[in-house]
Structure 1
Amino acid sequence: MAADTLSGLDALDLAGRESGGSTLSRVWAATWPKVLALAFVLGIWQVVYWSGWREPWVLPEPREVFADLARATATADFWHAIATTLRRGLVGFALAAGIGLVLGAAVARVAPLRAALGSAITALQTMPSIAWFPLAILLFQISENAILFVVVLGAAPSIANGVISGVDYVPPLLLRAGRNFGARGLALYRYVVAPASLPAIVSGLKQGWAFAWRSLLAGELLVIIAHRPALGVRLQGLREQNDAVGVISTMIVIFVIGVLADTVFSYADRRLRRAWGLA
C-alpha cells in the first residue's frame, strides 16, 4: 500500500514537472519571436543612424532615446499623461462598445433596420477619424467631449460590424437544434446565437479598440486641453520643440500600450478557442 502511495506521488510530481516545463515552453515559444523582432528593428535603427542618413538631432540613436525614456519615467507629468490618455481611451471604448453591441444586435436581428443602416455602418467605419474633428470642435468646442465624440464614432461601427458578422455566420444547424430544444425569440439569441457569435464579437471589440486608440491619439494632437497632460499633447509639444528624442520615446510608449492591449484581447481569444475546442 505504501509503495502504491509513493508511486502515485511520484507520478503526480512527474506530471507537475511536465506541466511546469510545458508552461515554460509555451511562454518561451510566445516570447522569443517578439524579442527577435525587437532586436531586428533596433539593429536596423542603429545601422541607419550610423549611416548618417539623417542628422542626429532628427534621427537619434536608440541608446539616447531609451535613456530619455528612462528619465521621463521618473517624472510625475509622464505618468499623468499616460493616465489621462488611458482614462479617455477606456471611457471612449466602453461607450463605443455599448453602442456598437446594441446597434449590431439590432441590425442583425431586424431586416428593415439592416437594409437602412447596414451600408451606413460600413461607410462610417471606413471614414478617417480625423475627418470628424472639425464637426466635433464645432459641437463641443475644445473639450473632453470633442475627443470622446470622435473616439466613439471611430470605434462603434467596427464593433457593430463584428456583432453583425458573428450573427450572420452562426451555423444554421445550431439554430435548428436550439429551436428543437424550445428556444425561441430572445431565448434563441441568448443561449444559441450570442455564444456562437462570441468569437466574432471579440474580434470586433479588438478592432474597435484599435480604431478608438488611433482616434484618441489623433484627437489629443488636435484638441489640446490646457493643464491636462496627455500623450498626444506631450507628443505635439515635443514636436514643436524639435525634440526628436522625446518624440520617439513617447511613440514607443504609445506602441507598448498598444501591444499590451493586443495581449489582453489575444488572451481572451485563446480562452474562447479553448472553450470551442479549437486549441
Structure 2
Amino acid sequence: MQPESTLTKAEPSSGPLTKLPAEDDRALEKGLDNLQQEARVQSSWKSSITKALLPVAALVAVIYLWQMYVWIVRPRPDQLPGPADVFGTLGSLWQNGDAVETVLTSLQRGVVGFIIAVLIATPLGLVLAQSRVLRGAFGPLISGLQVLPSVAWVPAAVIWFGLSDATVYFVVLMGAIPSITNGLIAGVDHVPDQHRRVGHVLGASRWQLAIRIILPAALPSYVAGLKQGWAFSWRSLMAAEIIATGGTLGFGLGALLDQGRQFSSMATVISAILLILFIGIVVELLIFGPLERRLLRRRGLLVGGSQ
C-alpha cells in the first residue's frame, strides 16, 4: 500500500481525456452542425441535378429511338414524320405566333376554370364530409361524375351554351369538381377524432372547426385532389377544344390538334401533342410537385427516397 502523502500529491491528468471548457464544446458542436449543413446542401444539389438530368436523358432516348425507327422502317411522312420535321413545324408555329396564341388561350381557360372549380368544390366537399345525410345522398353521384368521361358533356354544353367560352368552362368544371370534392372528402375522413374533440373543447363553432382544424388536417389528401382535379380539367379542356370549334371560341391547343387532323398534317398533330404534354409537365414540376413535397415534409410524411 502506498503512503498517504503520495496519494495526496497526485496531480490531475492532463492527457487526452481532460474535459474541454464549455466554449470549446460549443465550438465543436457548431463545427459539426456546419459540416452536416454543408453535407445536406451538397446532397440536395446532387439530388436536384439527378432529377433534372433523368427526364432529359429519357427524352433524348425517346427522340433517338423515334429517329432510328424512321430511318429503318421509313414510314410515310403523313403518318409518322421524323423528329426534324416535327420540330421544324413547331418552330414555324412559334415564329408566326400560332403556338403562343394557342398556349395562352388554353392556359387562360384551364387556369380560370380550375380556380372556379376549386371555389365550388372546396365548400361542397366540406359540407358533404360533415353531413352523413348529404354524403349518403350525393356522394355516389359525385363519384359517378368523376368516372364519367368529360367529353360526354361537350354535346350537351354546345346545345346549352352554343360555340362560346361558356361551353369550354362548363366541361372543365364538370371534369375538375368531382375529383377535388372526393379528394377533400377522403382527407376529412382521415382526420383523427381527437382534432374534433380539441376543437369542441376550445369552443370552436362548426364553421371554425371545418376551416381552422379539419381543412388544415386534411391538406395532404386535399392537395392530391387538387392535383388530380387539374389533370382532369386539362383533359376536359382539350376534349372541349377539339370538338367545339368555331363561333366565338378562341384558337386553343385542342383546335390546333384538330386543325392538324383536318389538313392531314401529322407534324402539326404531334406538335400540338408535345405542347399539351409540355404544359402538363411544367405545371407538375413547378407547382403541384413542390407544393406536395413541401407539405409532406413539414408533416414528416416524406420518406428519404422521395425528398
CA distance in 2 between partners of 1:164 and 1:140 (Å) = 31
> Which of 142, 158, 165 matches 2:186?
165
Structure scoring higher RCO (CA < 8 A, sep ≥ 6) equals 1
CA distance in 2 between partners of 1:43 and 1:176 (Å) = 59
> Which of 79, 83, 90 matches 1:58?
79
Tell me what 2:52 maps to: 31
Tell me what 2:20 maps to: none
Tell me what 1:156 maps to: 177
CA distance in 2 between partners of 1:185 and 1:63 (Å) = 61
Contact 1:92–1:152 (Cα < 8 Å) also in 2 = yes
Deviations, residues 204-226 of structure 1 (Å, cap 9, x unaligned): 01100111000101111111135
CA distance in 2 between partners of 1:53 and 1:173 (Å) = 66
Tell me what 1:252 maps to: 274
Q: What are structure 1's unaligned runs of at least 5 residues?
A: none
Deviations, residues 109-137 of structure 1 (Å, cap 9, x unaligned): 11111111000000011111111111111
Over 3 Å counting, the alpha-carbon distance change for 1:134 and 1:21 in structure 2 is same
Where 1:186 maps in the other structure, the secondary structure is helix
RMSD of aligned residue pairs (Cα, Å): 2.4
Structure 2 counterpart of 1:253, one-letter code:
L
Contact 1:69–1:249 (Cα < 8 Å) also in 2 = yes
Quick check: 10-19 or 94-103, which moved more?
10-19
CA distance in 2 between partners of 1:217 and 1:103 (Å) = 26
Percent identity between the two aligned chains: 37
Structure 1 counterpart of 2:92, one-letter code:
R
Tell me what 1:206 maps to: 227
> Which of 271, 274, 279 matches 2:297?
274
> Which of 274, 283, 303 matches 1:261?
283
Contact 1:49–1:56 (Cα < 8 Å) also in 2 = no
TM-score for the superposition, normalised by structure 2: 0.82
Over 3 Å counting, the alpha-carbon distance change for 1:70 and 1:23 in structure 2 is farther
CA distance in 2 between partners of 1:211 and 1:59 (Å) = 28
Larger Rg: 2
State the 1:106 CA deviation: 0.7
Over 3 Å counting, the alpha-carbon distance change for 1:69 and 1:13 in structure 2 is farther
CA distance in 1 between partners of 2:262 and 2:208 (Å) = 57
Total equivalences in the alignment: 275
Over 3 Å counting, the alpha-carbon distance change for 1:226 and 1:75 in structure 2 is farther
TM-score for the superposition, normalised by structure 1: 0.89
CA distance in 1 between partners of 2:298 and 2:221 (Å) = 14
Structure 1 counterpart of 2:186, one-letter code:
S
Q: What are structure 2's unaligned runs of at least 5 residues?
A: 1-23, 303-307
